């Protein structure tokens, strides 16, 4: 048996040379000073593999056309097994790889490992950093929600401001007019077809150059006995990769990736925001206006990239110990302060978006409920019914499962049961519910809408929608307005209100209807600030 295995191994080695190549890779000599500070490169390669793998899994169920892209992504998030985890790994992996690549370059910069003969290694690393950012830029549009659409509008406008090349870049990105099929196809093509092979080629070249010139030793360690890459450095790289993946996995599970409403080109009031790692550039643009805008959007970033590439030729001195590289530490510190300050300013200046509270990455069946049924959710939560009854996967099993159609009665029976539980079901331990008949009717309307398929979706209705519907019902808005087919047609229907009016206009209209709409018969409403916020947010979340 051993002879056969040895024969197979010899055949594979003779035909492919894989075993000797792996052996040479693992047992390459590295400086004695190598250690934990050099694990970032291996982590970055691993994260790229995670991005490629999760991207391929997402592509199996993704429709790369506007509109269909949004619906297919919602299918991945709400119906596909493991879909939310896949998108979470891909989304947060994109952020993590930016962090790791930047840390890797900072480590190389602080140690001066870009010096002769490793200039080309550094320059390839800078290009890989740009490609990493390009993934974030091109992938931003692919969800095709409002955030993606308007963020890409800003991106194409910035590209169009480039001196000389502006019109050509704008035409290349398909952003001359409105963002549409052409822009989407080109961003998708860049993200999926061009960037991955370019990244693989440059990664292989980068690793080849590292192997060719060796890992840079600390000054004074050149004559110390070298050690093998395996097993100690391999162990450290493996531990670092495990920690990185553990953090990424926890982020993917615990932090839900946002998805806003379907891209609306008519929503000109939307305020776009880029990913966090581009916020500093977004804030920088605010410092320049008019003719100087091109300086902040194109010239300064281009100069920064050029300086990064030329670092090995600017600093041509001998390598010294990292503790003596005060200028390098000062540059990194100033860059960190500048980036952190601009990012913090951008975060502070981000306006509160009421529509951001709606999570379109989860089921949105609650949007189809009538205001009365939505109010039933509010009373269901207020009375803490889940302490005894199960709804989908939530709640206790003391009482019957309310999603089972077999237990549903008509509204009249339910109201009597709420008032006198022991009379309707002898022996029950349920206490009477102290609500009015109208409130009990709303609770019954919600329970009658429940079934096993929609229970989780309805239970996940945001609290602002339930409370906003409660304000809507309390003020009898349905006597004049229509919502999801329920109510009267005296006033305009309220579905799709966000497409017709701004949030400020609606809030002012509640306070003084005749001022905002002359001839209106609607009375003014003096609502508490929280009630006004919940009501307006609820109305703006209604579908068309």
pLDDT in tens, 361-392: 888 888 888 999 999 999 998 888 888 888 77
Task: Indicate the pLDDT class of residue 405, thresholds 50, 70 and 90.
Answer: low
Question: Is the model more confident about 178 or about 313?
Answer: 313
Q: Given this model, what pLDDT does residue 356 score?
A: 45
Domain boundaries for CATH 1.10.760.10 within the chain: 365-541
Task: Indicate the pLDDT class of residue 344, thresholds 50, 70 and 90.
Answer: very high
26-38 tens-digit pLDDT:
888 888 888 888 8
Q: Rounded distance, CA 151 to CA 173, Å? A: 14
Answer yes or no: are the C-beta atoms of 74 and 360 closer than 8 Å: yes
Answer yes or no: are the C-beta atoms of 233 and 34 closer than 8 Å: yes
Averaged pLDDT, 258-280: 84
Question: Is the model more confident about 440 or about 408?
Answer: 440
pTM, full prediction? 0.86
**Lowest mean pLDDT, pick from 100-104, 405-409, 446-450, 457-461:** 405-409
Question: Is the model more confident about 270 or about 114?
Answer: 114
Regarding the domain with residue range 365-541, which homologous superfamily does it belong to in the CATH classification? Cytochrome c-like domain (1.10.760.10)
62-79 tens-digit pLDDT:
999 987 999 999 999 988
Task: Indicate the pLDDT class of residue 454, thresholds 50, 70 and 90.
Answer: confident
Q: Rounded distance, CA 475 to CA 526, Å? A: 11
Q: Given this model, what pLDDT does residue 145 score?
A: 92
Residue 39 pLDDT exceeds 70: yes
Residue 355 pLDDT exceeds 80: no
- Return the percentage of the chain with pLDDT > 90, whole number: 42
Top-confidence range, 98-107, 253-262, 445-454, 479-488:
98-107
Question: Is the model more confident about 100 or about 169?
Answer: 100
Which residues have CB under 8 Å from 213's CB, separation 6+? 117, 118, 121
210-248 tens-digit pLDDT:
989 988 888 877 777 888 888 889 999 999 999 999 999
User: Given 3.40.50.300, 1.20.810.10, 1.20.1740.10, 1.10.10.60, which CATH number is that of 25-272?
Assistant: 1.20.810.10
Answer yes or no: are the C-beta atoms of 294 and 160 closer than 8 Å: no
Domain boundaries for CATH 1.20.810.10 within the chain: 25-272
Which residues have CB under 8 Å from 72's CB, separation 6+? 61, 62, 63
Answer yes or no: are the C-beta atoms of 58 and 90 closer than 8 Å: yes
Residue 367 pairs in a beta bridge with none
Question: Is the model more confident about 223 or about 425?
Answer: 425
Question: Is the model more confident about 159 or about 279?
Answer: 279
Averaged pLDDT, 276-299: 84
**Angle ∠(177,300,289) on CA atoms, nearest 5:** 60
């Amino acid at each position: 048996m051993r002879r056969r295995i040895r024969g197979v191994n010899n055949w594979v080695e003779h035909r492919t040379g894989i075993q000797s190549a792996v052996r040479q890779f693992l047992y390459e000599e590295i400086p004695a000073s190598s250690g934990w500070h050099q694990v970032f490169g291996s982590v970055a390669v691993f994260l790229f593999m995670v991005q490629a793998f999760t991207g391929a899994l997402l592509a199996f169920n993704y429709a790369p056309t506007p509109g269909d892209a949004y619906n297919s992504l919602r299918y991945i998030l709400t119906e596909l097994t493991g879909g939310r985890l896949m998108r979470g790994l891909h989304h947060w992996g994109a952020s993590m790889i930016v962090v790791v690549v930047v840390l890797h370059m900072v480590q190389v910069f602080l140690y001066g490992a870009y010096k002769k003969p490793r200039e080309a290694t550094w320059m390839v690393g800078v290009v890989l950093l740009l490609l990493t950012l390009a993934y974030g830029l091109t992938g931003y549009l692919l969800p095709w929600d409002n955030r993606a659409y308007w963020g890409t509008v800003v991106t194409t406008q910035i590209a169009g401001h480039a001196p000389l090349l502006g019109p050509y870049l704008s035409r290349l990105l398909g952003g001359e007019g409105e963002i549409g099929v052409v822009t989407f196809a080109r961003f998708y093509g860049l993200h999926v077809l061009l960037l991955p092979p370019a990244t693989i080629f440059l990664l292989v070249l980068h690793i080849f150059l590292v192997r060719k010139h060796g890992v840079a030793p600390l000054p004074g360690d050149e004559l110390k006995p070298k050690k093998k890459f395996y097993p100690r450095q391999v162990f450290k790289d493996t531990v670092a990769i495990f920690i990185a993946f553990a953090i990424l996995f926890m982020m993917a599970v615990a932090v839900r990736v946002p998805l806003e409403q379907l891209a609306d080109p008519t929503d000109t009031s939307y305020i776009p925001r880029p990913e966090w790692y581009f916020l500093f550039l977004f804030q920088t643009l605010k410092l320049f206006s008019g003719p100087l805008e091109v300086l902040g959007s194109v010239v300064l970033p281009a100069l920064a990239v050029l300086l990064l590439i030329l670092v090995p030729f600017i600093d041509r001195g001998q390598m010294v110990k990292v503790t003596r590289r005060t200028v390098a530490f000062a540059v990194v510190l100033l860059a960190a302060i500048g980036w952190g300050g601009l990012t913090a300013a951008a975060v502070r200046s981000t306006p509160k978006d009421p529509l951001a509270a709606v999570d379109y990455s989860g089921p949105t069946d609650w949007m189809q409920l009538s205001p009365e049924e939505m109010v039933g959710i509010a009373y269901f939560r207020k009375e803490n019914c889940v302490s005894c009854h199960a709804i989908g996967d939530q709640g206790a099993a003391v009482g019957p499962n309310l999603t089972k159609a077999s237990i549903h009665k008509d509204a009249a029976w339910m109201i009597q049961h709420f008032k006198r539980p022991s009379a309707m079901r002898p022996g029950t331990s349920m206490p009477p519910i102290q609500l009015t008949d109208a409130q009990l009717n709303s609770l019954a309307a919600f329970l009658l809408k429940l079934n096993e398929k929609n229970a989780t979706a309805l239970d996940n209705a945001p609290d602002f929608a339930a409370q906003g519907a409660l304000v809507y019902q309390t003020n009898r808005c349905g006597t004049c307005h229509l919502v999801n087919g329920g109510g009267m047609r005296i006033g305009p229907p309220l579905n799709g209100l966000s497409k017709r009016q701004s949030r400020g206009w609606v809030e002012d209209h509640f306070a003084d209807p005749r001022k905002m709409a002359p001839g209106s018969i609607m009375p003014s409403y003096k609502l508490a600030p929280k009630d006004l916020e919940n009501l307006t947010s609820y109305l703006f979340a209604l579908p068309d």
